[in-house]
A and B are shown apart, each in its own frame.
Chain A
């Protein structure tokens, strides 16, 4: 029996596969029967502790709590908070924990939400800590895969773009690796390949099959999921390399012709230019639905943490 009451969520690894499936299933049910859950969190308060701005994540969490009839409070900028006055995370959280029933923390420092969880009397959700973890993005990706593919195992998944610094990619690939039978197609410029340590971890611990490509076209025909990420200009040593490489990692209608009829294109958003606007009309492009599903999976997560999921 899955019990997440009072639990923190710092990394996707904090959740067993059964717990992930349970959260995703509740999220699906909430999407189908939203009205049934409109009063589920009446009287509950979500604190949004954003030590750096992230409008999307913050609004997604706020929407999730408001859709369950709860309330929200918080801050979205460290300069207006006590952190600017040099207060420790431990002190801040010990006070704020009495103001709310669950909290999401976004922090530029890696490990900050873990610190908060050690002093908090209410569940802490990591809303992104530097380049480290962002577990509700992973849950968002998983509910999207569940919605459009219908399973989380035996998948052919391509990850394309910045695989070196892409936190969302690292978390998702490691979580999918825990489910059996998937194969990962890694498409990136040589400068931005998946870190060696993560590759070793995936192959040694989970026995994953990893296939590397330099061109998207080679991977596209094989996959059920194409997970696109943004390549930031700053990641390149010089402008010439960036210009030379960036087109190989842009998805357009022509490249989509190489993909299977039944496949999906995902993206954590915001997109810049790595997916041409013409792809948006393709029924296989699900990145906007992905953002919507993120609200439902956050609703499901918080309902479980607050102990109201089975009401």
Chain B
């Protein structure tokens, strides 16, 4: 197996459903981070069979809302001095701002660039959100 050294300070996004690592890497703009990033794909896992992992050194801020929308099975470990100091369990976000557009073509958020699309969780089971402005429901699938 490929060995990746553990990091001193940073974060490890673990238990990513195999195949979603690259999506997370892209959606969280990790290519633009000015620090070392490793994306591991198809890593053997006792619990999951296979999983993806992302390690970021010297960086501990992460968009947990976007992460929760993509994959709620993910865990985020915050590392200080080579030790896990915080484990963040991801959940589907209840309030979302600016992460996806409203599915209603008549909605004001789709024409007025000044307005940030804002949503409240409608139904966790199918990941649908109610628009703050037009009140229509949008089913979300981050791809």
B102-137, CB < 8 A from A: 104, 106-115, 131-137
Chain B neighbourhood of A97, CB < 8 A: none
Q: Are B106 and A110 in touch, CB under 8 angstroms?
A: yes
Is A164 close to B, CB under 8 A?
A: no
Measured as residues with beta carbon below 8 angstroms from the partner, the interface class of chain A is: 10 to 19
Residues of B near A107 (CB, < 8 A) are 108
Q: Is the CB of B133 within 8 A of A110?
A: yes
Which residues of chain A are near B114, meaning CB under 8 Å? 88-91, 115
How far, in Å, is B119 (CB) from chain A's closest CB? 12
Shortest C-beta distance, B123 to chain A (Å), equals 11
Q: Hey, which chain A residues are within 8 Å of B112, CB to CB? A: 88-90, 109, 112, 115
Q: Is the CB of A115 within 8 A of B106?
A: no
Question: Does A215 sit at the interface, judged by CB under 8 A?
Answer: no
In chain A between 90 and 142, which residues have their CB closer than 8 angstroms to a CB of chain B?
A: 90-91, 107-112, 114-115, 129-132
Instruction: Place the interface of chain B in its size category.
Output: 10 to 19
Q: For chain A, what secondary structure do more than half of its interface residues adopt (helix, strand, loop), or is it mixed?
A: mixed
B88-112 interface code vs A (CB 8 A; 1 in, 0 out): 0000000000000000101111111
Chain B: which residue is nearest A13 at the CB level?
A: B135
Instruction: List A residues 64-88 near B (Cβ within 8 Å).
Output: 88
**Across the interface, which residues of B come within 8 angstroms of A197, CB to CB?**
137
Residues of A within 8 A of B131 (CB): 111
Which residue of B is nearest A112, CB measured?
B108
Which one, B106, B110, B115, B132, contacts A89 given CB within 8 A? B115
Contact A108 B115 (CB under 8 A): no
CB distance from B133 to the nearest CB of A (A): 3
Evaluate whether A114 and B106 lie within 8 angstroms (CB atoms) in the complex, with A88-B113, A89-B114, A109-B111 already known. Answer: no
CB distance from B26 to the nearest CB of A (A): 29
User: CB distance B136 to A110 under 8 Å?
Assistant: yes
Residue of A nearest to B114 (CB): A88
Cα distance A115–B114 in the bound complex, in angstroms: 9
Give chain B residues whose Cβ lies under 8 Å from the Cβ of A110. Answer: 104, 106-108, 133-136
Q: Which of these, A89, A91, A111, contacts B134 with CB under 8 Å?
A: A111
A90 CB contacts on chain B under 8 angstroms: 112, 114-115
Task: Give min CB distance, B140 to chain A, whole Å.
Answer: 17
Chain B residue contacts of A109, Cβ below 8 A: 106-108, 110-112
Which single residue of chain A is at the shortest CB-CB distance from B111?
A109
Contacts A110-B133, A111-B131, A114-B132 given: A130-B106 contact, CB under 8 Å?
A: yes
A156 to B36, CA, bound (A): 68
A112 to B114, CA, bound (A): 11
CA distance A212 to B78 in the complex (A): 57
In the complex the two chains form, what is the Cα distance from A89 to B113 in whole Å?
A: 10
**Contact residues, A126-173 vs B (CB, 8 A):** 129-132
Residues of A within 8 A of B135 (CB): 11, 110-111, 132
Beta-carbon contacts of A183-200 to B below 8 Å, as 1s and 0s? Answer: 000000000000001000
A115 touches B115 (CB 8 A): yes
Known: A11-B135, A111-B107, A131-B106. 19 other contacts (CB 8 A): A88-B112, A88-B113, A89-B108, A89-B114, A89-B115, A90-B114, A107-B108, A109-B110, A110-B104, A110-B107, A110-B133, A110-B136, A111-B108, A112-B108, A114-B132, A115-B133, A130-B106, A130-B134, A132-B135
Q: Closest 4 A-B residue pairs measured CB to CB?
A: A111-B133, A110-B134, A88-B114, A109-B108
- 27 A-B pairs within 8 Å (CB atoms) are namely A88-B113, A88-B114, A89-B112, A89-B114, A90-B112, A90-B114, A109-B108, A109-B111, A109-B112, A110-B104, A110-B107, A110-B108, A110-B133, A110-B134, A110-B136, A111-B115, A112-B108, A112-B133, A114-B108, A114-B132, A115-B108, A115-B114, A129-B108, A130-B106, A131-B106, A132-B134, A132-B135
> Which residues from chain B sit less than 8 Å from chain A, CB to CB?
104, 106-115, 131-137
